[in-house]
Amino acid sequence: MTRPTILINFAISADGKISTVNRNPSQFTSAHDHKRLLEIRKQADALLVGRGTLEADNMSMTIPADMQPRRQPLRCIASRSGKFDSEHKVFRTPGGALHLLVTEPAEVNEFGPLEALGAAIHLCSLEDFLRILVIEHGVKTLLCEGGGTLVRSLASLEAIDEVHLTWAGHTLFGGENAPTITGELSSHLPASIQFELTHFEPLENGECFLSYRKAPPDS
Ligand SMILES: NC(=O)c1ccc[n+]([C@@H]2O[C@H](COP(=O)([O-])OP(=O)(O)OC[C@H]3O[C@@H](n4cnc5c(N)ncnc54)[C@H](OP(=O)(O)O)[C@@H]3O)[C@@H](O)[C@H]2O)c1
């Protein structure tokens, strides 16, 4: 499968959840964690989020100018239905070129035609989209910032190379249906994917930065 190197980044609660059962916005970690996210963003040629995360976290998907990015990464958003609201902040904020993946376009879209969004529209599968990013847009490194539904699709394709987590020991969300980094716990991946720990950095504030790299096949 032709695809970029794919990194994912999440903050997780002490009980391994990325949000509450009500999918509240993810603002439960420190400014230090946010700075680390921006540093990881600087490594990426493209950012990718699911529409759920874009909306829950009201994202603009940019790197602030004072962090002196070499350039703004492409901003990629995945949706099955293609129901993007043109009033959303991401369409109103300057930044990297917008690329929208729509896998199962809705017959009726109350938000109007996708072409009016000022973005490149890709009507294809997630797998094909990843290939197009490499071949047509030179994307070598892609950072997926969630959510769990989208990351589960990446995991099903075995398309995750690095996992960056901020483990927040100060927060418990609980709730069987609160999502994890691969979505709800009700269904499992067909097989485990092995990762090895590459970075372990406990902070004084009850958080811990963790990084993992996909383990070689026969390890
Ligand atoms: N703690 C953290 O670091 C962190 C990070 C990210 C998100 N979150 C939280 O996670 C929650 C959102 O979770 P979520 O699972 O709903 O988010 P999500 O994966 O961002 O969004 C789900 C939506 O994305 C689209 N999508 C997902 N997989 C797709 C695929 N394979 N192909 C095409 N489109 C796909 C679909 O959009 P359509 O409905 O348009 O078809 C789907 O309904 C929020 O509470 C957010 O704050 C937390």
Quick: pLDDT tens for 15-62: 999 999 998 877 899 999 999 999 999 999 999 999 999 999 999 999
Query: Is the C-beta atom of 146 inside 6 A of ligand 1?
Result: yes
Please, what is the Cα angle at 202 between 146 and 70, to 5 degrees? 50
Q: How confident is the model at residue 219, as a pLDDT?
A: 67
Closest CA to 203 of 170, 174, 160: 170
User: 119 is written with which tokens?
Assistant: 């973005």
Q: How confident is the model at residue 30, as a pLDDT?
A: 96
| Digit-coded pLDDT (tens) for 156-206 | 999 999 999 999 999 999 998 999 999 988 778 888 999 999 999 999 999
Query: Is the C-beta atom of 18 inside 6 A of ligand 1?
Result: yes
| Digit-coded pLDDT (tens) for 58-81 | 999 999 999 999 999 999 999 999
Check: CB of residue 124 under 8 Å from CB of residue 101: yes
Compute, in angstroms, the gap from residue 65 CA to the centroid of ligand 1: 27
72-111 residues labelled b (16+ CB within 10 A) or e (exposed):
bbbbbbbbeebebeeebebbeeeebebbbbbbeeeeeeeb
Q: How confident is the model at residue 189, as a pLDDT?
A: 86
Assess whether pLDDT exceeds 90 at residue 87: yes
**For ligand 1, atom 43: residue with the closest CA:** 52
Query: Is the C-beta atom of 53 inside 6 A of ligand 1?
Result: yes
Query: Is the C-beta atom of 205 inside 6 A of ligand 1?
Result: no
Q: How confident is the model at residue 27, as a pLDDT?
A: 86
Q: How confident is the model at residue 146, as a pLDDT?
A: 93
Compute, in angstroms, the gap from residue 20 CA to the centroid of ligand 1: 13
Q: Candidates 3, 15, 26, 53: which one to mutate for ligand 1, based on the most atoms within 8 Å of Cβ?
A: 53
Average pLDDT rounded to a whole number, residues 86-98: 96
pTM over 0.75? The answer is yes
User: Does domain 5-214 sit in CATH 2.170.150.70?
Assistant: no
Look at strands 5-13 and 162-168 and give their pairing: parallel
| Digit-coded pLDDT (tens) for 94-145 | 999 999 999 999 888 888 889 999 999 999 999 999 999 999 999 999 999 9
Assess whether pLDDT exceeds 80 at residue 7: yes
